[in-house]
Structure 1
Amino acid sequence: MLFESTEFVGRSCVPFVADLSRYGDRTALIADGAEISYGTLAERVDSAVRQLGTTRRLVLITGANTVDVIVAYLACLSAGHPVLLVPGGSSASLASMIDLYRPDVVCEDGRFGELTEGTAHDLHRDLALLLTTSGSTGSPKLVRLSHENVQANAESIATYLGIRESDRAITTLPMHYCYGLSILHSHLLRGAGTVLTDRSVTDSEFWALMRKHRVSALSGVPYTFDLLDRVGFADMDLPSLRYVTQAGGRLGADRVRGYSELGRRRGWDFFVMYGQTEATARMAYLPPALTIEHPDCIGIAVPGGSFRIEPIPESENGGELVYSGPNVMLGYATEPQDLALGREIDELRTGDLAVRNDDGLYRIVGRRSRFAKLFGLRIDLQRVEAALIGAGFDGCCTGGADELLVAVTGTDEARATETAAQACGLPTSAVRVRTVPELPRTQNGKVDYRAVAALFEERDRPDPVPPESDAQAGFTQLRDLYSAILGTTDVDADSTFVGLGGDSLSYVRMSVRLERLLGHLPPDWHTTPLRDLVPSARSAPRGWRTIETNVLIRALAIVLIVGSHANLFAIVGGAHVLLAAAGYNYARFVLPGARRERLRHTLQSVRRIAVPSMLWIGALVAFTGVHPIASVLLLNGFFGPEAWTREWRYWFIEALVYILIALAVLLAIPRVDSVERKHPFVFPLALVALGLLTRYQVIGPDTPTSQILASYVVFWLFPLGWAAARATTVWHRVAVSAVAVATLPGFFYAEPDRTALVIAGLLLLIWLPRMWWPALLVRPVEILAGASLYIYLTHFTVYTLLESDPWIAFTASIAGGIVYWYLWLGLEKLRRRISPGTAGTARCAAGARGGWRCVPLLRSSNELPPGSRRDP
């Protein structure tokens, strides 16, 4: 058994999955030339069920049209584990879902990785499947589907399509899309076969598979039929084809009629279907016998379902289409707590406007939300699009601030503008048309209206990207920047700074360089995929730029530390501010990700701090002998003197290393990790409370001489900075501010100036994430902040040699640290060049970036199980 068992799940909750074995030797799946029987599929599913264990858990699966993924998916349905099915291939959206919903188990490429022992969720007994809504890939909004929903919709689809055991479908749609998933469900229900492929219908190999495996069912969205037109589908000889289905958006009436007539000539039926993810997949279908006479209708409700039309005041034509049936979802989920909810709705308001004709067929006439208000007029955008189609344009439109925005394929902007203006009653000056080679579409083949609006935003940009810096060139610039600073070539469009292992040391250089490139810096840039960091110019006061407060604090703090030690001035407390800033950055760069990824990033941070520190101190010992070996090993806190001596000079380095190691151990405990994820703001405050026990000497040794330097005494400042980073509301910020103001007075004995400095630094972190700064000083701040660790290390040696002149001592100390920093960066580049990292072969969940446990669940595709057949 793969995972610990604490609770019995019970027998299959989805009947057609439990009945797989009854079809025996019939072919269930065909992949890579191998045919897998239902009996073999059932055995592999049962094996996966046993490995999953009996504790009911939330399992995230990245959808893919492969045998291993389908086996893993069916195993979850069989054992009753709710499945969160997400797109594969996008590490950014995957990380977003993991971060929000915290699944107990993650499965990518058919391999399970455990994030939580047992389960961290309260899962409703009826919950079977969670899908993203159409067009909302990466959105936290999920559709909650029950076991009954999955079974009922599969049965209704199989019934009206008349699916037989002898039928074979082929995958033309992704598994995570409800349309694609419904094809698999309905064919498994009837003991039919499914050919698994990711090839496009434009690929000749796709049609070779169609003929070789005698595929009888072909499915597509409107865009699929655009591609079929291009490849000459009408002239293809496909003798085994029995029916073609269309859903996922409206297909023009002329094309529906054309495909229906083609099907009658070629001997196959053409089904027009209508559905939404909220109804598991399908709600209506148009019987093939009616498609020529009523090509603009969606038809009738699927078996077991029913429609009604609810009048709405704002509609001049038809009312809202409302659907009822056993396939209507339980409700939506927008956060993990929603997974405990049961049924919240009994009927589905589709958002579509419809009418019912005399033959009892329903026809969609508009979309309730597809309206724009321009110049006091209510514009029906779908009617405009219909007019464009009628005029021979493939187009779509959306409402702008004070004009209608229209994207069309072709080159005749003037005629498209005139057509759209006449359809909506606006003057042509209020209609703006942009011609494109192809309409932007979502992964499911539907028109991407957000991308359409973005087309016009790009044109409106006051300072457009020059030809040599288009989207591809912009991405190349970002990729090269990330590669140079983070020392990795594993950078793609979905990469993020945090995901690539960025930390507070590399953050400074990256943030400043990135702002210089982009013209602005989004507040969450460190967790934003490169594809969304589009270079653009933002207005700023001449001679000024914004800079992140934590970067500025690091630069100013190291200046104050060095200046005070060199007797240039006496403003102390900078190191304690740096400790809080370290906690702030720890929350931002180390905590995102899975438990093992956190551990890896924390240990990387320890290495990046400890190694250059130990080398520098070791070099001093070798040449001068001024420090004991305990200082070289950063063990002065354990073996050094209690009173202040030169050995305590590096107390800040030791404290930071000790704290990071302690947190690595603490968060490596699954239960603690789970608690932190559930309570991200309360958890660091709890650590603050724990740290205050040593700050006030309630526990711990009585060491008054070095109290403000001992790591266990100053520890509370680190989680205080951590809490500042987690403060997402005004009340959170007020709470952290109150703790800072209440606990810092008295810590530095009779040093009110030092107390005020540390409080001010914390309040800036809490309340002002970014600040304006003279543009000419941004680069110096970047260098000072980036080199702060190295300046801290070296300045104790440099300034003592030049104490006679404070200014020279100060300048030389800063310069010496910067030189050591650049030398270290050069050594790191050389190390990476000599020993480049290689990506692992087993990619689980987020692959090499994931860091959680990868456990092989299934055999590789080259090791066919008993009962499989490989074509010669």
Structure 2
Amino acid sequence: MPFTRELAAHGDRVALITPDAELTYRQLGERVTATAERLGPLRRLVLLAGANRADALVTYLAALSAGHPVLLVPGDSESTIRSLTEAYAPDVVARPHADGTWTLDERHPESAHMLHPDLALLLSTSGSTGSPKLVRLSHENLQANAESIAAYLGIDDTDRAATTLPMHYCYGLSVIHSHLLRGAGLILTERSVSDAAFWEEFRAARGTSLAGVPYTFDLLDRIGFERMELPHLRRLTQAGGRLGPERVRRYAELGRRSDWELFVMYGQTEATARMAYLPAHLAAERPEAIGVPIPRGSFRLQPVDGHGRDVGELVYSGPNVMLGYAESPADLALGRTVQELHTGDLARRASDGMYEIVGRRSRFAKILGLRIDPQQVETLLEAHGVTSYCAGDGESLAVAALGGTGEEARIRRLVAEECGLPARAIRVRVLSELPRLATGKPDYGAVRHLTSAEQEETTSTGEDLRRLFAEILDRTDVTEETSFVSLGGDSLCYVEMSLRLEEALSHLPTDWHTRTIRELRSLASPTAEKPEGQDWRPATRRARPAPGLMRALRSWTAPQSWRTRRTLETGIALRAVGIVLIVGSHVQIFDIQGFAHILIGIAGYNFARFQLTDAARRERVRHLWRSITRIAVPSMVWITGAVVLTDFYDPANAVLLNTLLSQGNDRFDWAYWFVEALVYYLVVLAALMAVPLLDRLERRYAFGVPLALMAVGLIGRYDLLGLASARPHLSPSVVFWLFALGWASARAGTMPQRALLTAALLLTVPGLFQDQPVRTVLVIAGLGLLIWVPTLPSIGPLSALAGVLASSSLYIYLTHYQVYPYLQQDFPLTALFASLVLGVGYAAIVTRAARRVRWL
């Protein structure tokens, strides 16, 4: 493999860019050579668990450079690794260990197989992952296809491509080959393009190239790709299935405006990767075409019965055509058994020389005696504005389509009229997203399954989750592809949603708020094992739970409640415990102070999680102002009543301006410092996030920005500018650094980042509370817990009670000042309980009012 042996020749050019480090070609070549020496000189079959990480890539390149055939499998599929290990008995298995370290399990000192000298790589064909049928590719196949792709794309050593596709997928692998061939850089990432951190890495690495299948472009549409500023982007490439002509044209025109090119490509694993490409300058004019053969390749059309003279099966020839298939270890000794590739696609050659795919020969189905081409049905429905996947099974035609409720009848009628099939032979299921394989290609097996009657229960589960989201977030636009954050959820409704979902799903991942309803629904499989006596279905399928505290109290008597193990997010636990200790300390039942400052940090933590989402800038800012309104309006309404009815408060409190307008030192004048500080921070940040440059900086430096703000906040922490109020530790300028620290905690993804924040805590909190060491230790411990421990063990009733208290904590804080002073002298415990109950009640009133008038 010439390009694997010549890596070091590119010298100090950057080869690999990971989130943690960069690797030059010289360093990469050294690692490849060292791993090749470990694999040894005797050719052995190496099963490699593919992943977009440096260890996997080094092992792959080492095996190729030393002549060891590689069986490349998806690294995230244990079943596939197991089945292909059993089927092919590899001599070496390379995969990550349970602790993340890379291991080479050398099972045979010499190969247990006869390996043909040309054999270089074994890949699963599309849709057959885990099947023993593999594509046999030679060294010449890989080298020739990499050279052809690099030539027509114009890749040079200044390019940097992101690994947006899996390494085990031939398209993703071709990106790696073609860029390493030219000494270009690879941005190694396993993140999705829907992840904001992906774009931070891409911009920071000055990325020039993105590769995607049709589903990738669906994601790009959702995240507002057309509004992104990517100054170094040169090209988008698309393959892995047909992208609709209108979308091709739209992206081509977008590229023309933004100074990058779109290349639509056509290929199959059996051709190593690519067979044809559409020249970028023709993408907008000929979006329906696959283009021309790649350099050194050629097409011919083989006549097919039943089609006109201008349509035939597309047959490809070139040095990248596979050696043949392998279905057992014995086939590894075979040489070339295939001379040209019969693609199975029906095509025609237009007058301008461009090839166009018009159907799929192998997908024809005979249904009730009629010969049906499912791809033609897809094209028919597309002409009527319906995007669909169709599959035939001999007895009926299965159609999965995008659309709304009630569309099934219209789609069935259209298909029946055009195909001549009776309606009873057409099964239609309308979905919010079409099923795809891990590679992004259509999953026709899932199409057949989804349209079967057995899926009714799963569909009902999805509907229940959508109703639950609609109920709690008061939204009417909930779909399978929306998530808590995309629907504008914030910390005020997060607690109730998390507890209701955990009740519905039994297990809730820590990142559930960013997962789509479709992904959450997969956790609610009716066949999954559930705790004894517990109904798996969402709460919306049963009697509607009582609101607030009553729901929590009922859970104490629920069957198996004490044996149902759950987890409770640390932030929720701290909010619940904190509000009880704050009120109890004010009542003087005990004296445990410091939790208000912990809650400032938690507010920053939640700001990062729920406000700084992947949404476009304007949507972000809109959600932020909505959250400000939900905090400020109920606060001002309540405090205004307190100002009018009592003599405890300065009028400045009613408009949340006591810190700025009043320097009185009365205790009650400072009662609402926490609310004022939180509103001030959010208002300023909303204004800053509205600035495009600052919005881009935050997306690019997700951890760096809050870290920088924390450093700026230390100026206020030590009052270097003399801005502190009469009570320094209650002044917004003094405690802002805690808000920024909480924000940074939510963005800390590595041990060093968490350690840095912990060190900052230990260095900066001491001295904030004069002569109160217990308070200092408590703040450090609480925020340290937030940094290092995402969840805590719990049980159902405790989680429910904590959820009520946490979700009502702001309102308890607001109202308890008007309760406990009248009861604390004679009935301190009653004062505590009454304060909590009134706060929960006010929370319920605010929530109902918000849903009624829709101003929150």
Q: TM-score, normalised by structure 1?
A: 0.52
Q: Quick one: distance in 1 between partners of 2:11 and 2:3?
A: 14
Q: 1:423 aligns with which of 399, 418, 424?
A: 418
Deviations 1:51-84 (A, max 9, x none): 1111110000000000011000000001000000
Provide structure 2 residue ranges, at least 5 long, that are not aligned to the other structure. 97-101, 465-503, 506-520, 533-856
Q: Which amino acid aligns with 1:78?
A: S
Q: 1:374 aligns with which of 346, 367, 371?
A: 367
Q: CA deviation at 1:480?
A: 7.3
After TM superposition, the structure 1 = structure 2 runs for residues 113-512 of structure 1, keeping only pairs within 5 Å, are 113-316=105-308, 318-411=311-404, 412-459=407-454, 472-473=523-524, 477-478=528-529
**In the comparison of the two structures, how many residue pairs are matched?**
468
Q: Quick one: distance in 1 between partners of 2:190 and 2:143?
A: 26
Q: Which amino acid aligns with 1:414?
A: A
Per the alignment, do residues 105 and 458 of structure 1 end up closer, same or farther by CA in structure 2, a change over 3 Å counting? farther
Stretches of 4+ aligned residues off by more than 6 angstroms? 460-471
Q: CA deviation at 1:386?
A: 1.1
Per the alignment, do residues 212 and 54 of structure 1 end up closer, same or farther by CA in structure 2, a change over 3 Å counting? same
Q: Would you say 1:32 and 2:25 are equivalent positions? A: no
Per the alignment, do residues 451 and 464 of structure 1 end up closer, same or farther by CA in structure 2, a change over 3 Å counting? closer
Q: CA deviation at 1:414?
A: 2.4
Q: Quick one: distance in 2 between partners of 1:402 and 1:136?
A: 23
Q: CA deviation at 1:22?
A: 0.8
Provide structure 1 residue ranges, at least 5 long, that are not aligned to the other structure. 1-13, 482-872
Question: Is the 8 Å Cα contact of residues 449 and 455 (structure 2) preserved in structure 1?
Answer: no
Q: Which amino acid aligns with 1:299?
A: G
Q: Quick one: distance in 2 between partners of 1:56 and 1:232?
A: 49
Question: Is the 8 Å Cα contact of residues 135 and 444 (structure 1) preserved in structure 2?
Answer: no
Q: Which amino acid aligns with 2:142?
A: V
Deviations 1:377-421 (A, max 9, x none): 211211110122222222111124433221112222222223323
Structure 1 residue aligned with 2:4? 17
Q: Which amino acid aligns with 1:346?
A: Q
Question: Is the 8 Å Cα contact of residues 127 and 147 (structure 1) preserved in structure 2?
Answer: yes
Q: Quick one: distance in 2 between partners of 1:176 and 1:45?
A: 19
Q: Which amino acid aligns with 1:420?
A: V
Q: CA deviation at 1:424?
A: 2.0
Higher relative contact order (CA 8 A, sep 6+): 1
Q: Which amino acid aligns with 1:386?
A: T
Q: CA deviation at 1:155?
A: 0.2
Q: Quick one: distance in 1 between partners of 2:303 and 2:147?
A: 31
After TM superposition, the structure 1 = structure 2 runs for residues 699-848 of structure 1, keeping only pairs within 5 Å, are none
Q: CA deviation at 1:464?
A: 12
Q: Which amino acid aligns with 2:67?
A: G
Question: Is the 8 Å Cα contact of residues 285 and 298 (structure 1) preserved in structure 2?
Answer: yes
Q: Which amino acid aligns with 2:103?
A: R
Q: CA deviation at 1:204?
A: 0.9
Q: CA deviation at 1:34?
A: 1.1
Q: TM-score, normalised by structure 2?
A: 0.53
Q: Quick one: distance in 2 between partners of 1:129 and 1:99?
A: 18
Q: Quick one: distance in 1 between partners of 2:344 and 2:410?
A: 31
Per the alignment, do residues 397 and 128 of structure 1 end up closer, same or farther by CA in structure 2, a change over 3 Å counting? same
SS in 1 for 2:416: helix
Q: CA deviation at 1:460?
A: 7.7
Q: Quick one: distance in 1 between partners of 2:388 and 2:371?
A: 20
Q: Quick one: distance in 1 between partners of 2:58 and 2:181?
A: 15
Per the alignment, do residues 377 and 477 of structure 1 end up closer, same or farther by CA in structure 2, a change over 3 Å counting? closer
Structure 2 residue aligned with 1:77? 64
Deviations 1:318-369 (A, max 9, x none): 1100000000000000000000000001100000000000111110000001
Q: Quick one: distance in 2 between partners of 1:460 and 1:91?
A: 26
Q: Which amino acid aligns with 1:55?
A: L
Q: Which amino acid aligns with 1:103?
A: P
Q: Quick one: distance in 1 between partners of 2:173 and 2:530?
A: 35
Per the alignment, do residues 255 and 460 of structure 1 end up closer, same or farther by CA in structure 2, a change over 3 Å counting? closer
SS in 2 for 1:369: helix
Q: Quick one: distance in 2 between partners of 1:401 and 1:135?
A: 20
Q: Which amino acid aligns with 1:445?
A: G
Structure 1 residue aligned with 2:487? none
More displaced 10-residue stretch of structure 1: 399-408 or 381-390: 399-408
Q: Quick one: distance in 2 between partners of 1:50 and 1:397?
A: 50
Q: Quick one: distance in 1 between partners of 2:457 and 2:200?
A: 50
Structure 1 residue aligned with 2:91? 104
Question: Is the 8 Å Cα contact of residues 380 and 424 (structure 1) preserved in structure 2?
Answer: no
Q: Quick one: distance in 1 between partners of 2:14 and 2:283?
A: 32
Per the alignment, do residues 268 and 89 of structure 1 end up closer, same or farther by CA in structure 2, a change over 3 Å counting? same
Per the alignment, do residues 462 and 272 of structure 1 end up closer, same or farther by CA in structure 2, a change over 3 Å counting? closer
Q: Quick one: distance in 2 between partners of 1:159 and 1:214?
A: 22
Q: Quick one: distance in 2 between partners of 1:148 and 1:196?
A: 25
Question: Is the 8 Å Cα contact of residues 383 and 423 (structure 1) preserved in structure 2?
Answer: no
Q: CA RMSD in A?
A: 2.2
Q: CA deviation at 1:135?
A: 1.4
Q: CA deviation at 1:473?
A: 5.0
Deviations 1:141-177 (A, max 9, x none): 1000000000000000000000010000001100000
SS in 2 for 1:386: helix
Deviations 1:754-804 (A, max 9, x none): xxxxxxxxxxxxxxxxxxxxxxxxxxxxxxxxxxxxxxxxxxxxxxxxxxx
Question: Is the 8 Å Cα contact of residues 249 and 287 (structure 2) preserved in structure 1?
Answer: yes
Q: Quick one: distance in 2 between partners of 1:471 and 1:281?
A: 32
Q: Quick one: distance in 2 between partners of 1:123 and 1:86?
A: 19
Deviations 1:274-305 (A, max 9, x none): 00000000000000111122111100000010
Q: CA deviation at 1:371?
A: 1.4
Question: Is the 8 Å Cα contact of residues 290 and 355 (structure 2) preserved in structure 1?
Answer: yes
Q: Quick one: distance in 2 between partners of 1:15 and 1:240?
A: 29
Q: CA deviation at 1:474?
A: 5.0
More displaced 10-residue stretch of structure 1: 54-63 or 431-440: 431-440
Deviations 1:121-145 (A, max 9, x none): 1000000000000111111110000
Q: CA deviation at 1:471?
A: 6.8
Deviations 1:174-215 (A, max 9, x none): 000000000000000000001011111111111111211111
Q: Which amino acid aligns with 1:456?
A: T
SS in 2 for 1:343: coil
